[in-house]
Structure 1
Amino acid sequence: MQISKLSIIIPAYNEGRTIHFILDKVKQVTLINNIAKEVIIVNDCSRDNTEEAIKNYITTNPDLDIKYYAHEVNKGKGAALHTGISKASGEYLIIQDADLEYDPQEFNLLLKPVTDGFADVVFGSRFMGGNPHRILFFWHTIGNKFLTTLSNACTNLNLTDMETCYKLFNTKILQGIELKERRFGFEPEVTTKISRVPKIRIYEVGISYYGRTYEEGKKIGWRDGFRAIYCILKYGMFKIQ
């Protein structure tokens, strides 16, 4: 399949110290088949210097196509993704966190099933393949696997990592789905709703994972896990739209 542009959506909240690192990594990536990159950054009302850092980067890197949007109030990661998805103009889009946990050099791993003509959606799994994974939290791993299993039971998919950041979508298909979750419930909601699209082709590839500790800026916590369970049951088992 021919793709001319990939939209890279980056939600950002209090990432002023590291946002330039991830943008450098995105800039350095050469996508397969000379696919162009469109970077969409959504600042979710950060309280640090995130906006200043982004605007400085745009000024000093005019060769990278960056579109910047800012929320006037903090709405949550899911809401930032909603904004970014609505602004995407590439045939496909991928979600990239503003931290350094995921490596943009692996965009091509997710693109390959699409360009080969097999996939409409590709999940990047932290739990399969031989790529490097930082060893961190036992209970986070158990929690992620539990949430994935529960989600699979509701969607009849066999994913290994539903909660992964790296999800690549056909843009028109995703823009045609009404998404409501404004915070970390985005992952189970989008997984459930994309699974219901008729004849959707979902693939999964192994990716690296360079996780952060809470001291290094990790934001997701146990409350988000309970919200994810609620969303899986709400959109999956009870099929609430």
Structure 2
Amino acid sequence: MFITKLSIVIPAYNEGKTIHLILDKIKTVELINQLAKEIIIVNDCSKDDTEEAVLRYRQANPEMNIQYFKHEVNKGKGAALHTGIGKATGEYLIIQDADLEYDPAEYNDLLKPVVNGFADVVYGSRFMGSNPHRILFFWHTIGNRWLTFLSNMFSNMNLTDMETCYKLFNTKMLQGITLRESRFGFEPEVTIKLSRIPRLRIYEVGISYYGRTYEEGKKIGWKDGFRAIYCILKYGLFKAK
């Protein structure tokens, strides 16, 4: 497939302190084959100065294709992704958190299997490869691996990191999937629904991970883990649409 543009979808909630830093990183990335970048930021009704930070950055960097949207009420990360996915116009899109846990310099690692004609979807795995990974929470790691294992049981895939933020999709294909989860259930829902698409080629590549503590702004919690289990059963075992 000939690709001219990559859409970068960024859900943001109370990320006023860091969003300019991630945009700086995206700005410096030179994409493979000189692909254009479309940056779509969806502010999920932040209570800090996220909006001011984004608009200030966009005004200072008019050469960057930054599109800004906001929710008038907080709906959750999944809902922000739904909005951003619907607005994307690049042939492929990647999800980028507004914090600094994932490195945009690795976009090309995810793009290579697509550009070379092997993949339709690429997941960036925090549990593969030799890239740097911050040492943080034991039980989070166990939980992520267990959720991936459970997801694999129902999707019949052998992913190592279903919960990863970095997922690269064919845009039209993703826009054709009905997505319902408004919070962190997006990850298992989209993974299981992808597994049902005939002849879809899904790849994984190793990525680095610069995780945050809760004091530094991490938001996902144990309730989201239980929701992920519910979603795996809902979309995997009971095949909800």
TM-score with structure 1 length normalisation?
1.00
Pairwise mapping of residues 95-110 of structure 1 onto structure 2 (< 5 A)? 95-110=95-110
Pairwise mapping of residues 1-241 of structure 1 onto structure 2 (< 5 A)? 1-241=1-241
Q: Distance in 2 between matches of 1:72 and 1:104?
A: 28
SS in 2 for 1:161: coil
SS in 1 for 2:145: helix
Q: Matched residues, percent identical?
A: 78
* CA shift for structure 1 position 66: 0.4
Amino acid at match of 2:67: K
SS in 2 for 1:205: strand
SS in 2 for 1:141: helix
Number of aligned pairs? 241
Uncovered stretches (5+) of structure 1, i.e. residues with no partner: none
Q: Distance in 1 between matches of 2:91 and 2:61?
A: 24
* CA shift for structure 1 position 237: 1.0
* CA shift for structure 1 position 131: 0.3
Runs of 4+ in 1 over 6 A off after TM superposition: none
RMSD value, Cα: 0.4
Uncovered stretches (5+) of structure 2, i.e. residues with no partner: none
After superposition, the C-alpha distances for 1:110-168 in whole angstroms (9 at most, x for unaligned) are: 00000000000000000000000000000000000000000000000000000000000
SS in 1 for 2:85: helix
Q: Distance in 2 between matches of 1:130 and 1:3?
A: 29
Bigger mean CA deviation after superposition, 1-10 or 157-166:
1-10
